[in-house]
Structure 1
Amino acid sequence: MGQRALLRAGARVFAIVIGMTVGSGWASAESVQPPAVESEAAILIEQRTGEAIFVKNGDERLYPASITKIATAILAIEHASPDDIVTVSKTARGEEGTRVYLAEGEQVTMEKLLYGMMLNSGNDAATAIAEHIDGTKEKFAERMNEFMSGDIGADDTHFVNPSGLPDPDHYTTAYDMAKLARYAMNNDTFRRIVATRTMPWAGLEWTSTLQNHNRLLTDYPGATGIKNGYTIAAGNTLVGSAERDGMSLIGVVLKAGSKEKAYADMKAMLDYGFANFAVKLLFADGEQYERPADEMGAASGWVASAPIWGVYSKGEQPQVEIAGDGAVTLSSAGLRYEAGRLSAVKKEVAISSFTKSGSDNEKAAAGGQPANSSGSRIAAWACLALLAPAAVFAVVRLRRRRDKNRASERCDG
């Protein structure tokens, strides 16, 4: 992704430039300079492609604080039912930090806990969720790490709890959090929860109206989520998302000096992304592409097994190249990356399993009729049918001539 996903010379690229075809309607806009981000680390990605369009210290390991709960939430959505009844333990009841004031022994639905965790950042809700799924926070943390390294491909993240409370071994990077957020925002349930601004809360020990702590939802036009966080060790952290003109952006800031600076950095990145970039559908699901013949005279067919999108710089005419292995590469000012990959169209070819001679092999390889094809068999039977009467007549004549000769020999004796 981004700096780490820039393509190097690989499979041969055929000189196919389809920018004029897919580029109709690409608009220009007044350019906005890259933001002067003050946070220690930050990244902005386009959601459909996952491409980074702004990065600052993307690989630096830092404490995430409560944005950890993004992983807890998506795992709960995937591994539990919203109607599951969760019994709150003493451990969950006694969690430190921000809570929704769950009571020991209180029974709450998984869905309600998810809202309490993501809107009000309830650490008690996070622990209750983890214990319901895996028995202990520690076991759930193992699941989180397997998920991050396996499903997300986040190699610089390690979690030890579901809430983000400080620990020297609890860390992440801006790159990894962007990958996680992109994955989670593809889930409709997750999107609905993190876009919710308020929710009534009625518990055994606390009745209130939850207000989503993520200020983007009220302060930034087009905001769709996701989660903020804070501890003394982590500083202010924020993962935000917004959508405009059919393009969705996801931003991450880590270790901001204050809440105000975290939101200022996020808004500056989003403004930069929307002003300077746009997305375009390069190939629809199932769309076929016939690559013209090259200098060797060979042509080939390709098909998109899933939609392929490209993010490009506004005001530019990007080029889309199709490589010999089906890789779709987009080039635009400052960007060059593999946007997706086409699959070869399978063509049925008749292959002979019986060979009479080398010349027959060569004929079949050149596209001629194989010796044992259905057409050859029909022609052979037709020839036999025509020759059979003549063969029978010849045999009858031969037998009559032989009998006549034998009769003569008996008479002469």
Structure 2
Amino acid sequence: MKRVIKNKRRDSFTCSMIFILTLMIFAPVNTSFAHETETHLNLNSEAVIMIDGTTGEPLYTKNEDRTMYPASITKIVTGIIAIEAGNLDELVTISEEATQVTGTSVYLLEDEEITLKNLIKGMLINSGNDASTAIAEHFAGSEEAFAKKMNEFVTNTVGVTDTNFANPHGLYHPDQYTTAEDMAKITQYALENETFREIVAIKEYDWVGEGWETTLYNHHDMVRQYDEVFGVKNGYVSQSGYTLVTSALEENQIELIAVTLNASTADQAYEDTKELLEYGLSTYQTNEVEEGTVFEDDQQNSYELEETLYFTSLIDEEWSSDVDNDGNLIVQAENGETLYENKLNLSEDATVQTTSTEEEKDLPKDDDDGHSMWWLYPIPIVGLALLALRIWRKGMFSKRIF
């Protein structure tokens, strides 16, 4: 009986050693952290994303990469292209085709002349499909040709890959699609333009056209209802459901962009957006490290920040920054989570410091990828081999132990 117990202990010890040595081999050397929370929001929209509008970091997602129909949020792309490529004071002559486009309108008349800037306002504030077509024809001659420009723009300039446009206004077309993630990136890009930013924030605008004189009220209800909200665009066609892109700003804290796609009703789209923004504004902040800030590594090498650094954290979260000996700037939260990491360049007047004493030269260097201790790697492998041989010799795997 004693011999059986002794063998069990030896077997237990042997198994434990195998487990420990296996961990030594396969355990990761470095661990990187993503900024995540376990918050679950009860949202009705099929696809959702909320990002930090400054850093682009996703703060909440749901089916963000699912292919969806955009409806009138398409006009965000039409608007930013027109602003960047055109002369806003230039007069645009309205064609018969533009006046015949179905859907929401600013009631343009054939041969009417109107400034490009007014057309953009009529499109982004009142969602005028006729204004969208007039803009497309002005820049490319037709909706189809302008759609090609739109696709080149979002792919080459913005850098999204899961979006395609077939018209400038968002009326249904089977080849017109996007994702919540792509629309957030497109909107982030567009909001960097001050003219675009000003237009989408207009609550009401006196429209004076040959066929219509009225006051336009921003179709995005939250722009008119909440001081924090300053854009961007709503949309609806039956195939897309209700779509909504929203930007909100809490001064000196954070700017948010929320995208909700395919809600069953407009109320659901707005309720989802309110819940997202309330969560974002009460949870996150954008942090800034100014351009020109100098960091030093352990060897007194200096690294200067060449442009202002922005990163996202929880509100009032403590964080620290450090530069390793390879020049990598690492910003960490108090819980060890990596908030930002990027390689810096040495300052122009910096002198690279190196170890000089023989003792220092003999020390193993601290290598971020863990290879500085490469000579230790065979040890657990040899250990496993010896244990396996010992087990085989003792007959651990024979039928007598069962």
Change (3 A) 1:250 1:346: same
C-alpha deviation, 1:340, in angstroms: 5.2
Matched letter for residue 279 of structure 2: Y
The aligned counterpart of 2:70 is 64
Contact 1:49 1:339 in 2 (8 A): no
Structure 2 match to 1:206: 212
Select 2:61's aligned residue among 50, 55, 68.
55
Aligned residue number for residue 195 of structure 1:
201
* Aligned residue runs from structure 1 range 119-134, under 5 A: 119-134=125-140
The structure with more radius of gyration: 1
Partners of 2:265 and 2:44 in 1: CA distance: 10
The residue number in structure 2 matching 1:314 is 315
* Whole-angstrom distance in 1 between the partners of 2:338 and 2:278: 22
RMSD: 2.4
The change in CA–CA distance for 1:327 and 1:95 in structure 2 (over 3 A counts) is farther
Looking at structure 1, the residues matched to 184 and 337 of structure 2 have their Cα atoms a distance apart, in angstroms, of 18
**Are the aligned partners of 1:45 and 1:250 in contact in 2 as well (CA < 8 Å)?**
yes
- Note the 1:394-409 alignment, pairs <5 A: none
CA drift of 1:81 comes to 1.0
**SS across alignment from 2:247:** strand
Q: Where do 5+ consecutive residues of structure 1 fail to align? A: 1-8, 14-30, 294-298, 350-413
Match of 1:345 in 2: 347
In the TM superposition, residue 10 of structure 1 has moved relative to its aligned partner by: 11
In the alignment, what sits opposite 2:101?
A: 95
Partner of 1:106: 112
| Letter matched to residue 310 of structure 1 | F
Question: What amino acid maps onto 1:302 in structure 2?
Answer: Y
What's the offset of the Cα at 1:84? 1.0
State the number of aligned residues. 318
1:257 counterpart (249, 256, 264):
264
Distance 1:308 1:208 in 2: 45
Q: Which string of whole-angstrom CA distances, capped at 9 and with x for unpartnered residues, describes residues 113-153 of structure 1?
A: 01000010001101111111111111111111111111111
1:307 aligned partner, one-letter code? T
Letter in 1 for 2:307: A
- Report the CA distance between 1:335 and its aligned residue: 6.4
Using a 3 Å threshold, how does the CA distance of structure 1 residues 125 and 204 change in structure 2: closer, same or farther?
same
Deviations 1:16-56 (A, max 9, x none): xxxxxxxxxxxxxxx99542111000111111111011001
Q: Which amino acid aligns with 1:346?
A: E
Q: Which amino acid aligns with 1:187?
A: N
The separation in 2 between residues aligned to 1:36 and 1:346, in whole angstroms, is: 52
The question of whether the paired residues in 2 share the 8 Å contact of 1:327 and 1:338 is answered with no
CA distance in 2, matches of 1:96, 1:250: 29
Give the Cα–Cα distance (whole angstroms) in 2 for the partners of residues 319 and 255 of structure 1.
41
TM-score normalized by structure 1? 0.72
How far did residue 221 of structure 1 move?
3.6
Aligned twin of 2:306: 305
How many Å apart are 1:339 and its aligned residue?
A: 5.8
Aligned residue in 2 for 1:367: none
Q: Are 1:181 and 2:187 matched, yes or no?
A: yes
Give the structure 1 partner of residue 51 of structure 2: 45
Percentage of pairs with the same residue: 39
Residue 65 of structure 1 and its aligned partner are, at CA, apart by: 0.4
In the aligned structure 2, how far is the partner of 1:331 from the partner of 1:288? 17
Measure how far apart 1:11 and its partner are.
Answer: 10
TM-score normalised by length of structure 2: 0.74
Specify the code of the residue in structure 1 equivalent to 2:344: L
Matched, 1:269 2:276: yes
Quote the Cα distance in structure 2 between the aligned partners of 1:119 and 1:237. 15
